[in-house]
């Protein structure tokens, strides 16, 4: 008989926040960016499946591995598209308006990267902090992880939008 060791109770808010991955998944599918769509649908499925009953085991290991793969894919895309867009902007005629990416994209994107790292670290820290030293409610780490999911999805949508702009303007 195997007993399940819960590592987190009452994690249904994280199941719901994992559903946020469906928004960029559907948007990328609509734009025919099938690689992103498949990656995001898998991320949603694995994440929601793990958080519905957060225990040690295969589901947790899959979530830990695939979340890092997904994170790598979108961080790489983030760097590539913003850098590539900057190169296009510098090599093309300065008077062409279709080569200029508004500064707000850069501000939001890099701010999101900061908040992604910040909220993930807070979530990790408060989850692993011994409860004796923690003045916070024992479920506050969940709120930080939900914010982590929110900023990840915001950045993913921004990456998809930048790719769309690049594809339309430069026929890449």
Using DSSP, how many helices (H) and how many strands (E) does the chain show?
6, 0
In a domain, 1, yes or no: no
> Is the model's pLDDT at 99 over the cut of 60?
no
Judge whether 140 lies within some domain: yes
Terminal C-alpha separation, the chain: 56
Report residue 157's pLDDT band, with 50, 70 and 90 as the boundaries.
very high
Please say if the pLDDT value at position 81 is more than 70. yes
Domain count, the chain: 1
Q: What is the pLDDT of residues 28-74, one digit of tens each?
A: 999 999 999 999 999 999 999 999 988 889 999 999 999 999 999 99
Q: If pLDDT is split at 50, 70 and 90, which confidence band does 94 have? A: low
User: 45-60 in b/e burial notation, b at 16+ Cβ within 10 A?
Assistant: bbbbebbebbeeeebb
Average pLDDT over the chain, rounded to whole?
85
For residue 99, what is the DSSP state? G
**For residue 100, is it within any domain?**
yes
Q: Which domain holds residue 25?
A: 12-170
Residue 78 has pLDDT above 50, yes or no: yes
Question: Phi and psi dihedrals of 121, rounded to 5?
Answer: -65, -40
Q: What gap in Å lies between CA 47 and CA 118, rounded to an integer?
A: 20
This prediction's pTM: 0.85
4 in a domain, yes or no? no
Asked, for residue 6, whether it belongs to a domain, the answer is no
Q: Which of the four pLDDT bands, split at 50, 70 and 90, describes residue 118?
A: very high
Cα radius of gyration rounded to whole Å, the chain: 19
pLDDT surpassing 90 at residue 105: no
Answer whether residue 7 is part of any domain.
no
Which residues make Cβ contacts (< 8 Å) with residue 48, sequence separation at least 6?
Answer: 15, 18, 19
């Amino acid at each position: 008989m195997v007993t399940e060791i819960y590592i987190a109770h009452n994690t249904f808010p994280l199941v719901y926040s994992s559903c946020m991955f469906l928004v960029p998944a559907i948007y990328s599918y609509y734009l025919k960016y099938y690689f992103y769509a498949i990656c995001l649908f898998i991320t949603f499925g694995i994440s929601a499946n793990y958080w519905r009953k957060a225990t040690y085991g295969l589901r947790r290991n899959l979530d830990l591995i695939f979340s890092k793969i997904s994170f790598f894919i979108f961080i790489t895309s983030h760097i590539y598209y913003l850098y590539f867009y900057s190169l296009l902007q510098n090599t093309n005629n300065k008077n062409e308006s279709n080569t200029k990416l508004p500064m707000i994209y850069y501000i939001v994107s890099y701010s999101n990267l900061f908040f992604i790292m910040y909220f993930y670290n807070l979530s990790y820290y408060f989850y692993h902090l011994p409860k004796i030293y923690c003045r916070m409610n024992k479920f506050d780490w969940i709120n930080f992880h939900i914010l982590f999911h929110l900023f990840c999805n915001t950045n993913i949508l921004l990456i998809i939008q930048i790719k769309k702009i690049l594809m339309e303007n430069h026929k890449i």
